């Protein structure tokens, strides 16, 4: 009996099963769930406050810079997409290319910050403040709460970029980049609800 026959008799290896796996470590995901809970409560508070005075909210919502909100949505989505490409590049063993994607994501995030600061400056100039109306109180506090998360997200993306440039991430070392990516995607995810809720639904 030569080798080929023996091989023929050997049972076929089981198909490669991709076991269910959470991308990133448990600690970051517990943190993400806590943040989603906080934002969820905030969104509900806004929605039910609006229910008490829909006309006021509709009138003051019209004065918001919706285009700034839409461009910021595009910037956050594009940053998220670049982060996905960075994770894929690391997974494929091309960590340095991943660094370039992360830098592009940071650029989009910086664009979001610039537009948001300009939006706030125009709002304050128009006399909008935390006490000028219930709508303005929610608009400023909700978007500022999110803005803080964008800034933290940029610090995390910066750390990922430094590590990726040093070639720290590959198929066997994905935990750091997946954890940082998950946080950034959460910042994008909550904005996908915040933008229609605050800027558009009336």
Partner 1 sequence: MIRDIRSADRRSTVLWGLLIVATAFTWAVGEGGAGGPVIAALLLGVALLKGAAVILDFMALARAPLLWKLLTLGWLALVCALIGLAYWKGMP
Q: Using CB under 8 A, list all residues that contact partner 1.
A: 18, 20-23, 29, 33, 36-37, 39-40, 43-44, 47-48, 50-52, 54, 58, 62, 66-67, 69-70, 73-74, 77-78, 80-81, 83-85, 87-88, 91-92, 171, 178, 181-182, 185-186, 188-189, 192-193, 195-197, 199-202
- Residue 158 Cα distances to 92, 106, 115, 152, angstroms: 21, 7, 20, 10
Q: How far is the CB of 7 from partner 1 (least distance, A)?
A: 25
**How far is 130 from 140, CA to CA, in rounded Å?**
7
Q: How far is the CB of 88 from partner 1 (least distance, A)?
A: 5
Of 88 and 129, CB closest to partner 1:
88
**How far is 56 from 48, CA to CA, in rounded Å?**
13
- Structure tokens that stand for 46 in this block: 């806004």
Cα-to-chain-centroid distance, residue 68: 18
Of 85 and 168, CB closest to partner 1:
85
Of 91 and 119, CB closest to partner 1:
91
Of 83 and 157, CB closest to partner 1:
83
Q: How far is the CB of 106 from partner 1 (least distance, A)?
A: 17
Of 103 and 197, CB closest to partner 1:
197
Q: How far is the CB of 119 from partner 1 (least distance, A)?
A: 15
Which residues face 173 on adjacent strands? 170
Buried b (16+ CB within 10 A) or exposed e, 140-174: bebbeebbebbeebbebbeebbebbeeeebbeeeb
């Amino acid at each position: 009996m030569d080798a080929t026959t023996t091989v023929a008799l050997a049972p076929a290896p089981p198909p490669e099963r991709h076991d269910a796996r959470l991308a990133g470590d448990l600690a970051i995901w517990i943190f993400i769930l806590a943040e989603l809970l906080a934002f969820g409560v905030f969104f509900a508070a806004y929605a039910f406050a609006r229910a008490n005075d829909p006309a006021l909210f509709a009138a003051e919502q019209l004065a918001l810079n919706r285009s700034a909100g839409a461009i910021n949505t595009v910037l956050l989505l594009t940053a998220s997409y670049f982060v996905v490409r960075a994770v894929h590049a690391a997974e494929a063993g091309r960590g340095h290319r991943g660094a370039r994607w992360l830098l592009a994501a940071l650029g989009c995030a910086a664009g979001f910050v610039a537009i948001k600061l300009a939006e706030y400056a125009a709002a304050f100039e128009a006399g909008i403040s935390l006490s000028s109306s219930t709508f303005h109180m929610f608009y400023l506090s909700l978007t500022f709460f999110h803005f803080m998360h964008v800034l933290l997200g940029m610090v995390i993306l910066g750390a990922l970029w430094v590590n990726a440039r040093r070639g720290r991430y590959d198929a066997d070392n994905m935990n750091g980049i997946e954890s940082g990516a998950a946080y950034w995607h959460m910042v994008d995810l909550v904005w996908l609800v915040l933008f229609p809720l605050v800027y558009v639904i009336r």
